[in-house]
Amino acid sequence: MYSVTVPVPGRVRTLANDLYPELVGFDRVRDDLSCLLKRLGDADHVSHLQQRTHRALEGSPAVEARITGIDYFEDPPVGSAPVVYLAVESPGLESIHRSLLERFDAVPGLEGTDYVPHVTLARGGDRATARRLADREIEPITWTVTELEFRDGSYDLPVSRVSLPA
């Protein structure tokens, strides 16, 4: 599955590292952090999918994003629960997500009106630990999103980048 993601700054990685001791009891702890912006699907011709994505992003400006706290999905639509994440507030990213929806179908239950910008930290752990983490106060982290990544989910690697403004 190909996707468009938002790279996160080092300060977000530092926060995730600080939280790691409380996440080790989860089934899966993410070490490659990003904010998923839009799932694009699979493709026979990756270059065609990249071109469609780049066209959909034309005119997209650099936007502000802000980590505002820790939260969790108690019952995510896919995968093991709970999912602990860093909450991201960004009207600009939500606007870009809507623009991508004009060219790529929404994944039911995950995108469109159900889209929640976030950075996944861990999944498949104890709900009490997830609640405890969500109650924890953190210093907000604000940054300017100046690029997006086109990623290959099979290998979890960036294939290309798009600078913003696009």
pLDDT at 156: 78
Q: What are phi and psi of 133, to 5 degrees?
A: -65, -40
Please give the residue range of the domain that contains residue 95: 2-63+91-121+142-163
In a domain, residue 14? The reply is: yes
| Burial tier of 65 (Cβ tally within 10 Å: 0-12, 13-18, 19+) | buried
In a domain, 132, yes or no: no
Instruction: State residue 153's pLDDT score.
Output: 83
Residue 45 confidence (pLDDT):
83
Residue 56 within a domain? yes
The per-residue pLDDT for 34 is: 95
pLDDT tens for the chain, 166 residues long, are 999 999 999 999 999 999 999 999 999 999 999 999 999 988 888 888 999 999 999 999 999 999 999 999 999 999 999 999 999 999 999 999 999 999 999 999 899 999 999 999 999 999 999 999 999 999 999 999 999 999 998 887 888 999 999 8
Q: At what angle do helices 10-23 and 127-134 cross, to 10 degrees?
A: 140
Q: Is residue 77 part of a domain?
A: no
Asked whether residue 127 is domain-assigned, the answer is no
Question: pTM of the entire structure?
Answer: 0.95
Cβ proximity of 41 and 111 under 8 Å:
no
Query: Does residue 24 lie within any of the structural domains?
Result: yes
In total, how many domains does the chain have? Answer: 1
Residues 6+ apart with CB under 8 A from 20: 29
Residue 29 lies in a domain: yes
The angle formed by the CA atoms of residues 43, 49 and 55, to the nearest 5 degrees, is: 165
CA distance 93 to 151: 17
Residue 79 falls inside a structural domain: no
